[in-house]
Structure 1
Amino acid sequence: MNFIKNNLANAITLGNLLSGCIGAIHLILDDYHVTAICLILSLVLDFFDGFIARALKANSNLGTQLDSLADMVSFGLLPGLVMFKILEPFGNNLSGFSLPFEIKYFGLLITLFSCLRLAIFNLDEDQKYYFKGLNTPSNTILIFGLYYAFRHEEIFVSLLNNSLLMIALTVFSSWLLISPIKMIAMKFKSMKLEDNYPKIALLVGSILILIFFKTVGIPLVIIYYIFVSLVFQKQLK
């Protein structure tokens, strides 16, 4: 019984990793619908592994390391591959300028900075009730959300067909991961209403965005998340 209790959260983390691997494979195979399902599953499992570990009081150094390694695939490799797919049609042509290399590989910059962000997070003891920089799951939702809306609804076409804008988004996304900007974390330090205004504003606004914009609202929720976090910077501590 103790074995199950001590390893249940780790098993869920490995499920996150498996889902991320399958999602990455299907993205390469151009089956983005399966990738979307795998991403949703990874997000759910990533939430519940920590929740269950805390509930069962089964937190461990092994679980911490497994969590980061799983996130590196599901929310590090995957968004890098998405940007790789977005940049692939441009070949070595950057908005009219011929380059000596395929610019699609530039998309993997997101993967490199996701790895750096996860390593920094593991060493930073201040990020208990807020994130410093955009967390990797949110960054993945932003990048994949744009790609999914583009492929599924033919939205953001002019944005994703502009190689310079996509390079700029890659750089900006990578910087956000390690930026000093404080971001809202859905962890409650207290149940006082005034201490949770940022979370309430984020939750209500996100629901409304998804109701009104549906698929398009997926990346817009992350943009709204960044905006709300900037507004409440002084309250995040």
Structure 2
Amino acid sequence: MNFIKNNLANALTLGNLFSGCVGAVHLVLGDYHTTAICLILSLVLDFFDGFVARALKANSNLGVQLDSLADMVSFGFIPGLTMFVALSNNVYTDIPWYAYLGFLITAFSCLRLAIFNLDEDQKYYFKGLNTPSNTILIFGLYYAFKETQSFDFIFSNYYMMIALTVIFSWFLVSPIKMIAMKFKSMKLEDNYPKLVLLIGAIIILIIFKTIGIPIVIIYYILVSLLFQKQLK
């Protein structure tokens, strides 16, 4: 029984990793729908592995390392691969050199995860854009484009795609404080940023539906910038 208790969270983390691997394969094959399902599953497992570890008091250094390694695949490799696929235009026989620039996102995701593991200040906020949010933004833009031709101004111009890659690679390791949905207290004044973020995100998703998914991340960045002084 103790074995299950001590390793249940780690099993969920490995599930996140497995789902990310499957999602990456299907993205290369052009099946972005399956990739979207795998990313949703990875996000759910990434949330519940920490929740289960805390609930069962099974936190461990092994779990911390596994979590970052799993996130590196699901939320580091996949967004970089998404930009690689977009820049190569799904043609892998004559790949343009600039398509590989998409993996800058993967490299900076790795750096961001390493910094997070060493930074003890990030208890109630993130420093820089967290990797799941960055993945939702990058893949969400690509998914909306493939489904509805939205954001065509980005994906029809490789200069725009490269600019997007560079900008959000920087955001991953930037010093900008970002809202984390962790509660220091239940006082209303301590949670204004989270409430503004949550209410605004719901409105955006109701109005824009699928297209609203990456827009929510942009809104998240803007709200975080607005409440920099309150994030501590």
Q: CA deviation at 1:170?
A: 0.3
Q: 1:145 aligns with which of 127, 140, 150?
A: 140
In 1, Cα distance between equivalents of 2:99 and 2:90? 8
In 2, Cα distance between equivalents of 1:45 and 1:26? 19
Query: 1:85 aligns to what?
Result: 85
Q: CA deviation at 1:61?
A: 0.1
C-alpha offsets along residues 85-113 of structure 1, whole Å, 9 cap, x if unaligned?
Answer: 1110399xxxxxxxxx6111000000000
Query: 1:62 aligns to what?
Result: 62
Q: Is the 8 A contact 1:17 1:70 kept in 2?
A: yes
Q: Is the 8 A contact 2:30 2:90 kept in 1?
A: no
Residue 13 of structure 2 is aligned to residue 13 of structure 1: yes
C-alpha offsets along residues 206-232 of structure 1, whole Å, 9 cap, x if unaligned?
Answer: 011000000110100000000000000
Q: Which moved more, 1:159-168 or 1:173-182?
A: 159-168
Residue 186 of structure 2 is aligned to residue 186 of structure 1: no
Query: 2:222 aligns to what?
Result: 227
Q: Which moved more, 1:82-91 or 1:192-201?
A: 82-91
Query: 1:39 aligns to what?
Result: 39
Structure 2: any 5+ residue segments left out of the alignment? none
Query: 1:98 aligns to what?
Result: none
- TM-score normalized by structure 2? 0.97
Q: CA deviation at 1:183?
A: 0.2
Query: 1:76 aligns to what?
Result: 76
Q: Is the 8 A contact 1:90 1:104 kept in 2?
A: no
Query: 1:106 aligns to what?
Result: 101
Query: 1:116 aligns to what?
Result: 111
Q: Is the 8 A contact 2:16 2:45 kept in 1?
A: yes
Structure 1: any 5+ residue segments left out of the alignment? 92-100
In 2, Cα distance between equivalents of 1:71 and 1:88? 24
In 1, Cα distance between equivalents of 2:141 and 2:89? 16
C-alpha offsets along residues 131-175 of structure 1, whole Å, 9 cap, x if unaligned?
Answer: 000000000000000000000111111221111111110000100
Q: What is the number of equivalent residue pairs in this alignment? A: 229
Report the aligned-residue RMSD.
Answer: 1.3
Stretches of 4+ moved more than 3 A in 1?
A: none
1:176 is paired with a residue whose SS is helix
1:183 is paired with a residue whose SS is strand
Query: 1:204 aligns to what?
Result: 199
- TM-score normalized by structure 1? 0.95
2:113 is paired with a residue whose SS is helix
C-alpha offsets along residues 7-30 of structure 1, whole Å, 9 cap, x if unaligned?
Answer: 000000000000000000000000
1:128 is paired with a residue whose SS is coil
In 2, Cα distance between equivalents of 1:5 and 1:67? 17
Amino acid aligned to 2:80: G
Amino acid aligned to 1:49: D
Structure 2 counterparts to residues 155-170 of structure 1, below 5 A: 155-170=150-165
Query: 2:211 aligns to what?
Result: 216
In 2, Cα distance between equivalents of 1:130 and 1:199? 11
Q: 2:166 aligns with which of 162, 171, 186?
A: 171
Q: Is the 8 A contact 1:90 1:103 kept in 2?
A: no
1:35 is paired with a residue whose SS is helix
In 1, Cα distance between equivalents of 2:88 and 2:159? 13
In 2, Cα distance between equivalents of 1:54 and 1:186? 16
